[in-house]
């Protein structure tokens, strides 16, 4: 499950990276749009300056028409101020137009425009010089023959630049749009391919991961079945050995004791033989008690005869002698009969828990609680010793066996640390 979570986390990170890249590309596209806007604005300002130049040239043309009007009462020098103002405005317009010009002018075009304006203003200065010396007729002739032609040539050149600027603006806008569409199309294809690759890879990895964990789960189930089979086989073997010890060896030792008793009666009173037979009989009785005790330890027959509660009472009475610890028992609820198959596993869990107390807790006291309530049997074994280490709680063989026994009877087992410290083993078995 943790590997699946890590894989999903990696997928989220990858998708976040793609989204971030998409955001970056979107920013670049937005920059391209801003560039388009700037170029459009620059072209508009260039067109405005060309229109300004064209308007100044038209004003010059109107002024020259008035200067050639014979009914005009003013001398030609009266227009010099207007020409100076228009000249200053034209110089400023030409300067600004050069800064914002979108269409690239050839050196020949720039040279022609500069030369034409220079020649035009030189001719204008000569005309006003002639007018100041009283030669207005000659000045009007120069206006008619030279200055108007130069003005017309300049107007034509500016009009051509205006047309060229409009064409350049349209071409630039079209190029920007083509670039934008191409970049956008490539980005979309890239994102689609990337997302498809990520989704395909992730689905494949998730599928492989799920197959792997399904296999691990199957192996875990098989291991659990094997462990439970081994536990069941062990209990069956112990039951058979216990029965053999109790029935066969117990009967043999009982028969030996009986035969020794009868033989002793035939021996003369006070003879050494009678004393030897009595010692042999006591040894046989001791062996019989040991065999019966070992039989009960291997498989308590009283479990089938008297039930779980009585078996636990009997076992706890022998714990202090066997393990060297004192155990208190507390029973609550109304005792109910427990199936012998479940009872033996509960009994084994109790044995293992008390054995762990004796070997690992460092204390000589333990508390056992047996509760019958709402169709459930709960067994608590608690001590206030050192407690279980985390690694031991996960990998201890005895604890693993206790878990498997709990699973066999359909119950649960928990290993906790009580408030007073130590270890609490709680087994819950449905009845």
* C-alpha–C-alpha distance, residues 64 and 291, integer Å: 144
Q: Of 117, 114, 111, 97, nearest to 164 (Cα)?
A: 97
Task: Tell me the C-alpha distance between 396 and 390, whole Å.
Answer: 10
Contact 92, 99 (CB under 8 A): no
pLDDT computed for residue 30 by the predictor? 77
pLDDT attached to residue 140: 84
The pLDDT averaged over each successive group of 10 residues in the chain (431 residues) is: 62 76 75 74 79 87 81 78 88 79 63 82 87 85 85 85 78 76 78 79 80 82 72 71 68 75 70 74 76 69 78 83 86 83 85 87 88 88 80 64 85 88 89 81
pLDDT recorded at residue 1:
47
Asked whether 306 and 340 are in contact (CB, 8 A), the reply is no
DSSP string covering 66-119:
HHH-TT--S-GGGGHHHHHHHHHHHHHHHHHHHHH--SPPPHHHHHHHHHHHHH
pLDDT of residue 425: 92
Longest Cα separation, the chain? 189
* Vertex 390: Cα angle to 384 and 395 (nearest 5): 110
Q: List the one residue out of 186, 147, 133 whose CA is nearest residue 25.
A: 186
Domains and CATH numbers, the chain: 2-205 (1.20.120.30), 305-430 (3.30.565.10)
């Amino acid at each position: 499950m943790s590997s699946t979570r890590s894989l999903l986390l990696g997928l989220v990170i990858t998708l976040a990276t793609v989204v971030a890249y998409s955001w970056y590309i979107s920013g670049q596209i937005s920059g391209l749009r801003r560039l388009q806007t700037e170029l459009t604005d620059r072209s508009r300002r260039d067109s405005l300056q060309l229109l300004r130049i064209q308007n100044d040239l038209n004003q010059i043309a109107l002024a020259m028409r008035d200067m050639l009007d014979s009914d005009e009462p003013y001398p030609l020098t009266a227009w010099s101020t207007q020409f100076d103002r228009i000249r200053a405005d034209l110089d400023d317009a030409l300067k600004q137009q050069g800064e914002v010009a979108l269409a690239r002018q050839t050196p020949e075009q720039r040279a022609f425009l500069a030369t034409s304006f220079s020649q035009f203003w030189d001719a204008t200065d000569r005309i006003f010089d002639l007018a100041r010396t009283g030669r207005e007729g000659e000045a009007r002739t120069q206006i008619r023959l030279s200055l108007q032609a130069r003005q017309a040539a300049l107007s034509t050149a500016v009009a051509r630049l205006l047309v060229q600027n409009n064409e350049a603006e349209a071409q630039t806008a079209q190029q920007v749009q083509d670039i934008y569409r191409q970049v956008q199309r490539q980005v979309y294809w890239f994102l689609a391919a990337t997302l498809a690759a990520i989704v395909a890879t992730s689905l494949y990895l998730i599928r492989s991961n799920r197959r792997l964990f399904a296999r691990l789960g199957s192996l875990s189930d098989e291991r659990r079945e094997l462990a439970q089979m081994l536990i069941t086989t062990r209990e069956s073997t112990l039951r058979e050995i216990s029965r053999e010890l109790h029935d066969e060896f117990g009967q043999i030792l009982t028969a030996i004791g009986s035969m020794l008793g009868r033989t002793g009666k035939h021996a003369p009173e006070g003879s050494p033989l009678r004393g030897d037979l009595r010692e042999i009989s006591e040894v046989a009785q001791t062996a019989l008690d040991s065999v019966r005790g070992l039989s009960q330890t291997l498989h308590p027959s009283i479990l089938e005869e008297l039930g779980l509660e009585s078996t636990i009472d009997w076992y706890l009475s022998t714990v202090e002698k066997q393990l060297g610890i004192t155990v208190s028992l507390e029973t609550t609820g109304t005792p109910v009969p427990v199936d012998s198959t479940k009872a033996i596993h509960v009994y084994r869990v109790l044995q293992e828990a008390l054995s762990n107390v004796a070997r690992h807790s460092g204390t000589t006291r333990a508390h056992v609680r047996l509760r019958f309530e709402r169709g459930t049997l709960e067994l608590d074994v608690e001590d206030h010793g050192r407690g279980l280490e985390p690694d031991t709680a996960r990998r201890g063989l005895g604890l693993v066996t206790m878990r498997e026994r709990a699973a066999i009877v359909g119950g649960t087992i928990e290993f906790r640390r009580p408030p007073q410290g130590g270890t609490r083993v709680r087994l819950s078995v449905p009845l």
